[in-house]
A and B are shown apart, each in its own frame.
Chain A
Amino acid sequence: MALGPHAVFVVTSYALATAVVLVLIGWIAVDYRRQKARLRELEAGGVTRRSGRGVADI
């Protein structure tokens, strides 16, 4: 697959798109872990929801 004289632009756009999507995925995954850890911490400290359901139910 030859990309011709403007290969830099094609490669840069694909690389940038990959990078942005990966950052989005990473951010969402890290955020998920952080919120779960905080919920667990709070429950370990004895704070529970009115329904009594904990983080294990999710």
Chain B
Amino acid sequence: MTLIDLANPTRFLQLTARILPWLAAATAILLLVGLYQAAMAPDDYQQGATVKIMFIHVPNAWLAMFVWGVMSLAALGTLVWRHPLADVAAKAAAPIGAAFTFLALVTGSLWGRPMWGTYWEWDARLTSVLILFLMYLGLIALWRAVEDPSRAARAAAVLTLVGALNLPIIKFSVDWWNTLHQPASVLRMGGPSLDRSFLIPLLVMAVAFSLLFVTLHLAAMRNEILRRRVRSLQMMQASRRSA
């Protein structure tokens, strides 16, 4: 099974029908394991129980960026390889990515309230995620602004790629603009500074949320393919009526 085989939407639909139940089951099991481990994790000596918010905040923040990466790949697929499923993948990913980004923002803000004393602090990392959220919403607005899906796909692909190139620049400028947040602690030179009792539940939750994204994404892609079939059949019906 290669990428070319998947170019046939019917074959793609058959494949998703076969693997979706397994993916959903695996996601559910991993999520339960991750939640149990998160509940069992010890309290942080500084932050107390609020450190438990990390187990959903960090996976969501990681997915917020990962989904944009997936959409950029799909955008390349649309513009360069003209893969027929690429724009379906890009369109289906946008709302899911926006939802994860929203969760990252809200959980971050709920974490910040007891730690910093305010719900919102204009610090570098929160602000970059907020800009990412705005870009997701803009992308969804672009998809919704054009009726013809293939024309919308090309416009959205260009915007996605420009966004992917711009995100590091935005991140850098926002960092320069202000720094208050604690420095990155998981992926850092010289190994993670996080204790194992936190790291393992965090990794399990990260994998579980990634699986959740894959499951939701495949299901949303299936919906999008069906939506396009409905659309083309409706067009056929309309042209037959007028003929």
Contacts and interface: CB of A to CB of B under 8 A. Distances in A.
Nearest to B237: A47
B87 to A, nearest CB: 17
Given A32-B223, A39-B226, A20 B236 contact: no
Contacts, number: 100
B interface, over-half SS? helix
Contacts of A10: 49-50, 52-53
Interface string A6-42: 1101101110110011011100110110011011001
B220 interface: yes
A17 B99 CA distance: 10
A56 interface: no
Nearest to A36: B226
Contacts of A35: 223, 226-227, 229-230
B103 A17 contact: yes
- Interface pairs A-B: 4 shortest CB-CB: A35-B226, A6-B114, A3-B49, A4-B49
17 contacts: A9-B110, A9-B111, A9-B113, A10-B53, A13-B106, A13-B110, A14-B56, A16-B106, A17-B60, A24-B99, A28-B220, A28-B223, A38-B230, A42-B230, A42-B237, A47-B233, A53-B10
